[in-house]
Structure 1
Amino acid sequence: MTYENKFVKVSVDRGLAVVTIDRAPANAVSLAVYDELRRTFHRLGEDPAMRVAVLTGAGRVFCGGNEVSDFVDLDFDNATEYLAHVRLTFNALYDCPIPIIAAINGGAVGTGIVLASLCDIRIASERAVFALPEIDVGVLGGSRHVMRLAGQGMTRLMMYTGRRIPADQALRAHIVDQVVPPDQVLPTAMALAEEIASKSPPAIRLAKRGLNVTEAMNLKEGYEFECTLTAAVRRTDEAREGALAFLEKRQPAYAVR
């Protein structure tokens, strides 16, 4: 199954969605792209047949950041409205009930690095570069999202300088989780998506919910909340099937919903 917006292309096969930002030449994000991304991830998350999504960019760039021309006449009043669109889109990715894997095929700059940070797992090309260049164009970027991964020092360095960080340095800074040759980015992400999709769909969705919610909790509160999710997953048929399959040394047969 496929469905297309103007700039965000989506293909779906067996509950695995590939979402591609396709806005030549650099996949820069305009208001229209923000809105298409928001609607896409809402739609994927609301579909019970969906199990995992892969987010990538068309061509040689993952996402080149915001459409800079949008900033030229951006004053206080319209900036407030503009940034509301941005926040809603970022929230749609972070809150999407299914795991999202970023297949970072090239530059992830500005909004690009934030979109990657909002995904659950990041696979990057050896040629990928990462930056928060907003300091050079009169705005401030999504550093708080990047800071979840990179920590204070690296985030501040990127924010204050706009410096481009190569993939190997991004890996050391925990901005990405794996670096692979350029031709292996999407295959690696898809193999990981297949592995995740083979698990119990209700358990995966509850696991993501738990990881998102407990991220802001202390240790004891977080584990207590996670225990409530364990109780919830035990109500599902998939939980019993998973345990039986383990005992019987076979692959579980999860129903397609």
Structure 2
Amino acid sequence: MNYEFLQYEVENQVAVVYINRPPLNPLNTKVFHELYALIDELEANRNVSAIVITGKGEKAFVAGADIHEMLDLDLAGMMEMNRISRAAFSKIENASKPVIAAINGLALGGGCELALVCDLRICSDKAKFAFPEVNLGIIPGGGGTQRLQRIVGQGVAKELLYFGEMIDAQRALDIHLVNKVVPSDQLLPTAKEWAGKLAKKPAIAMRMLKEAVNTGANVDLQSGLMVENACFGNAFATEDRKEGMRAFAEKRKPVFSGK
């Protein structure tokens, strides 16, 4: 499939996806459709074991949703755009392969929501974050009010959501919104390094890990433990489990097959 607003490259089992609407890379309906389709494509690609998402250019990861598109929408049109955005975000969040956000600049509104659905977040020391929706007379509509509090805690989430003010990379690290801050010229190399390490892990065990964590975050403890038990059984039944344990016993590096 040809993409108008996305670019991607695959190397060493890692796919790097660029949101390509510089300088601010705003998200519109077409971008959401393309993200959904591309994640599907990468899920089916056996040469891809991990995914990095970043923004094209140096100014922005994603500086929010496309306000120009939203201005012309009535309520029905806005709710349809919102449905499409939620589908795209859910597709990324529930991808079987690990996804890393490489946040190269502004991550505002929908850009923050896109980062939140990724498994891990690495940002440039020049990155800035905000949920400014309240200052436009609206609230986040792509999951920001729900996912943010699960990552940073409800008190900090309310601070960011209620004030709608910008925070820098260090504050984002302090509140655990991001996992790591690096100099801007090291952002993509670091994200690729992390993705490369994840790409070498046993694929089924990684998928089961992600399913156990994601599902468990939204259910009570006992239900989460049941999910974990089922995922553990699925991982234990694999050839990679046998290889991993044999390699440990034989004091060598395992060679995983993804089976």
Range class of TM-score, shorter chain: over 0.9
Structure 2 counterpart SS, 1:24: coil
The normalised TM-score by structure 1 is 0.94
Instruction: Name the residue aligned to 2:159.
Output: 157
C-alpha displacement at 1:217, in angstroms?
A: 2.2
Instruction: Name the residue aligned to 2:95.
Output: 96
C-alpha displacement at 1:152, in angstroms?
A: 1.7
Flag the 1:237–1:95 CA change in 2: closer, same or farther, 3 A: same
CA distance in 2, matches of 1:30, 1:173: 29
C-alpha displacement at 1:245, in angstroms?
A: 1.1
1:221-236 equivalences in 2 (<5 Å): 221-236=223-238
CA distance in 1, matches of 2:121, 2:11: 21
1:217-256 equivalences in 2 (<5 Å): 217-255=219-257
CA distance in 2, matches of 1:187, 1:14: 13
CA distance in 2, matches of 1:234, 1:208: 15
Q: Which deviates the most, 236-245 or 9-18?
A: 9-18
Do 2:204 and 2:258's aligned partners in 1 also have CA atoms closer than 8 Å?
A: no
CA distance in 1, matches of 2:188, 2:12: 17
CA distance in 2, matches of 1:100, 1:166: 23
Do 2:235 and 2:241's aligned partners in 1 also have CA atoms closer than 8 Å?
A: yes
C-alpha displacement at 1:251, in angstroms?
A: 1.4
> Aligned residues: percent identity?
35
Alignment-mate amino acid for residue 168 of structure 1: Q
CA distance in 2, matches of 1:216, 1:49: 31
1:73-88 equivalences in 2 (<5 Å): 73-88=72-87
Instruction: Name the residue aligned to 1:135.
Output: 134
2:32 equivalent to 1:34? yes
Instruction: Name the residue aligned to 2:71.
Output: 72
1:101-180 equivalences in 2 (<5 Å): 101-141=100-140, 142-180=144-182
CA distance in 2, matches of 1:89, 1:82: 11
Structure 1 counterpart SS, 2:153: helix
C-alpha displacement at 1:50, in angstroms?
A: 2.6
Aligned positions, number: 255
CA distance in 1, matches of 2:18, 2:178: 19
CA distance in 2, matches of 1:203, 1:49: 18
C-alpha displacement at 1:101, in angstroms?
A: 0.7
Alignment-mate amino acid for residue 108 of structure 2: V
Do 2:240 and 2:258's aligned partners in 1 also have CA atoms closer than 8 Å?
A: no
Q: 2:18 aligns with which of 17, 20, 24?
A: 20
Instruction: Name the residue aligned to 2:44.
Output: 46
Instruction: Name the residue aligned to 2:55.
Output: 57
Alignment-mate amino acid for residue 85 of structure 1: I
Do 2:14 and 2:195's aligned partners in 1 also have CA atoms closer than 8 Å?
A: yes
Q: Which deviates the most, 116-125 or 233-242?
A: 233-242
CA distance in 1, matches of 2:148, 2:235: 31
Alignment-mate amino acid for residue 254 of structure 1: F
Do 1:123 and 1:177's aligned partners in 2 also have CA atoms closer than 8 Å?
A: yes
> Where does structure 2 lack aligned partners over 5 or more consecutive residues?
none
C-alpha displacement at 1:111, in angstroms?
A: 0.6
Flag the 1:149–1:256 CA change in 2: closer, same or farther, 3 A: closer
Post-superposition Cα deviations, 1:11-30, rounded to whole Å, max 9, x if no partner, equal 11232111111111211111
Alignment-mate amino acid for residue 69 of structure 1: H
